[in-house]
Structure 1
């Protein structure tokens, strides 16, 4: 069978680009599908974890620990996190994680079990003290049975918490990758993004990370900040490249409800879209010219970087076990988590409820995954990678060609020039323009049911 990009197409009339305006290029950052705003409380039908995991493959599990604490909330942040942790809250939170780990491990049963990768995210995991990070690693190892020293372990950090004592703990416990959210090396841009940091502190943190000897350094940068120019964007890129990071993630700025920037009334418009597209292209071209290869719209890896961990840290595979009240877990039939919020009071209430929970044997909030959602998820997370999707592997897994399952979506992508027409029948791959428009392509692959659930969600 031929791929949609190479198959001769019937005359459908004018191309999409001729008969209707282009979609907005920055609609939604698709880091998980279905999106958490499509989750709902499972109510009286809350399934037991041992039933959910019965029959699931456990030979290549992923483990994710969510630490929902930060020094401050950035103006663009809509993650599940709170500022500060008074009255030994971190101790009570880790206590709850230990109880949850015990329940999850029991639910997995006594059969063979292997973890293939682990990650600590947030929030800011290094908000924890060095001693608390030791305990977190103990929970992952003793509580869950993951040997952190033998698998890829990625940890997120921030300029203010990447201290030598914390980094020493992580290096000794097997961390292979540190990802630091810098966003901008220009102090004025950091202030505009409501991120109170100075370049000097960022440089000190990067020096500490390199001194710790952790093999992979990732630096996150953001483009589209108010007042940012192509010149200032190149300043940040050059500052980051000076550290020769093994990876760089370039994120477009989004302004979302209930965030600091969202409350200012700042919003998207066509000029901002064009600016972000220009800055994306400038950043992409600069990294490609400096020895990096593009893995996705956001991720760039240095060509000589060690091959440690997955090609993209999207936490999107089945067999994902999440610990912590902001973590998601994925089985083949259900994605589940705890409640989700952004507003400060709501987040604090959810964290407090989590720390008081004693029974972690059932899933509380989630979304069922049927055959169509599984296909959409596979297509979405594969197509948005620079290497594209193996059509034969898709066909073997789902019993049909993606062009048969999603003809309208793939026809639109081809008509807009987003699909590479020269890949052959067994590869579906985005063009460079298609990669640039990933945040428009991803939402077009959402099912009607997921769209409706997300539209009905009331931000809080």
Structure 2
């Protein structure tokens, strides 16, 4: 049986830079969009890794703003992937989109290319909040893009939101959730704000323009989201991700106390992101893109211009490489897997590493159970609702 791998393509271009963003994204490099697409396609074609027996289960165009670049450049990169990798039947192909780039013709072209999942960065359904974030779009733009995507044939749409934002109230967040639920997307991603260093938002907070994030309020917002989405029929399958279930309705992990638990599946869970949470191999292409393959992590140079120059000269764009030893791989598999509501299945862990997680981490598991942060059955271990709120308190304990 062929091994599966996930593919990631980074598109670093944006119309404007959001105040909270610390991604490797640029608002002033439109002039290099075409040579960048050429370089990414070339990097994919020149891939010399042992991939002959690998099947691509997902392809993810992330950014930046992939929906900003011309369709022809997305097509060029996608065709390079098709030529270099065997695509699994029904491969999930995701493209991230900003509502400011809403265009029905472009969306229909994406569907015609085989892109079957759209991830729209809405962030908030409050115009004042969007202006504070320098998002460059309105609530109306976001709703329009969603409706255009539906008309274009997208039946697998994710909406991204951030909570704990400057001056955002619990009532604001409730209103955003209500509008999101009313649209009935297949998938929702809700992320707590993290103020990153050297961002516009960090400087604004330092100057006193906005207060520091309130962790208690953010926790209230998270719990509100859990409650509202549960009531609306969305199943949480990861700390920050919810999906509409297919054929199984809503579900709880309380039944996980039994060893014969059968967890529901959904056609709308992000297959690409599940690769990360299962700590499985993936290959990244483009400026700053990261890969994890054959127990090594490696990543490309950050600058799109430098990246283009290196690829054009026939050089590797790799900036650095880190060998992942067995101890680190085990630790990362534990804390990444615990992000999922299903948690870590002991049988899968034993098959992969040849040992029992309950024995290896007996002390950590017992401490976390006493703290009310995890639960365990005969078959698996998973985070409690309190554990999801305090997940970092769990994860650091598994670091080597």
* TM-score bracket for this pair, using the shorter chain length: 0.7 to 0.9
In the TM superposition, residue 396 of structure 1 has moved relative to its aligned partner by: 2.7
2:308 corresponds to 1:355: yes
> Residues 226 and 248 of structure 1: is their aligned pair in 2 closer, same or farther, counting only changes over 3 Å?
same
**Structure 2 equivalent of residue 17 of structure 1:** none
In the alignment, is the contact (CA less than 8 A) between 1:148 and 1:174 conserved in 2?
no
Task: With the length of structure 2 as denominator, give the TM-score of the two structures.
Answer: 0.87
In the alignment, is the contact (CA less than 8 A) between 1:216 and 1:247 conserved in 2?
yes
In the TM superposition, residue 273 of structure 1 has moved relative to its aligned partner by: 0.8
In the alignment, is the contact (CA less than 8 A) between 2:244 and 2:268 conserved in 1?
no
Q: 3-state SS of the aligned residue for 1:219?
A: strand
In the alignment, is the contact (CA less than 8 A) between 2:166 and 2:211 conserved in 1?
no
In the TM superposition, residue 418 of structure 1 has moved relative to its aligned partner by: 0.5
- Extract unaligned runs of 5+ from structure 2: 248-265
2:343 corresponds to 1:391: no
Could you list the per-position Cα deviations for residues 397-429 of structure 1 after superposition, in whole angstroms to 9, with x for gaps in the alignment? 222232443445434422321111xx4222111
In the TM superposition, residue 249 of structure 1 has moved relative to its aligned partner by: 0.8
Higher strand share: 2
> Residues 309 and 59 of structure 1: is their aligned pair in 2 closer, same or farther, counting only changes over 3 Å?
farther
Which residue of 35, 53, 59 maps to 1:92? Answer: 35
Taking the aligned partners of 2:314 and 2:305, their CA distance within structure 1 comes to 15
- Extract unaligned runs of 5+ from structure 1: 1-56, 341-349, 448-460
**Structure 2 equivalent of residue 372 of structure 1:** 327
**Structure 2 equivalent of residue 313 of structure 1:** 273
Which residue of 305, 310, 326 maps to 2:288? Answer: 326
**Structure 2 equivalent of residue 304 of structure 1:** 246
**Structure 2 equivalent of residue 283 of structure 1:** 225
In the TM superposition, residue 166 of structure 1 has moved relative to its aligned partner by: 2.1
**Structure 2 equivalent of residue 127 of structure 1:** 68
Higher mean Cα deviation, 306-315 or 153-162? 306-315
Moved >6 Å (runs of 4+): 267-271
Q: 3-state SS of the aligned residue for 1:66?
A: strand
Matched length: 376
In the alignment, is the contact (CA less than 8 A) between 1:133 and 1:169 conserved in 2?
no
Taking the aligned partners of 1:399 and 1:90, their CA distance within structure 2 comes to 47
Which residue of 152, 175, 183 maps to 2:92? Answer: 152
Q: 3-state SS of the aligned residue for 1:114?
A: strand
2:254 corresponds to 1:254: no
Taking the aligned partners of 1:73 and 1:199, their CA distance within structure 2 comes to 18
In the alignment, is the contact (CA less than 8 A) between 1:149 and 1:174 conserved in 2?
no
In the TM superposition, residue 265 of structure 1 has moved relative to its aligned partner by: 3.3
Task: With the length of structure 1 as denominator, give the TM-score of the two structures.
Answer: 0.76
Q: 3-state SS of the aligned residue for 2:383?
A: coil
Q: Which has the higher contact order (CA 8 A, sep 6+)?
A: 1
> Residues 71 and 247 of structure 1: is their aligned pair in 2 closer, same or farther, counting only changes over 3 Å?
same
In the TM superposition, residue 270 of structure 1 has moved relative to its aligned partner by: 9.4
In the alignment, is the contact (CA less than 8 A) between 1:295 and 1:312 conserved in 2?
no
In the alignment, is the contact (CA less than 8 A) between 1:67 and 1:124 conserved in 2?
yes
**Equivalence map 1:10-409=2 (5 Å):** 59-87=3-31, 89-104=32-47, 106-108=48-50, 111-142=52-83, 144-147=84-87, 150-266=90-206, 272-304=214-246, 307-308=267-268, 310=270, 313=273, 315-316=275-276, 317-340=279-302, 350-357=303-310, 358-361=313-316, 363-409=318-364
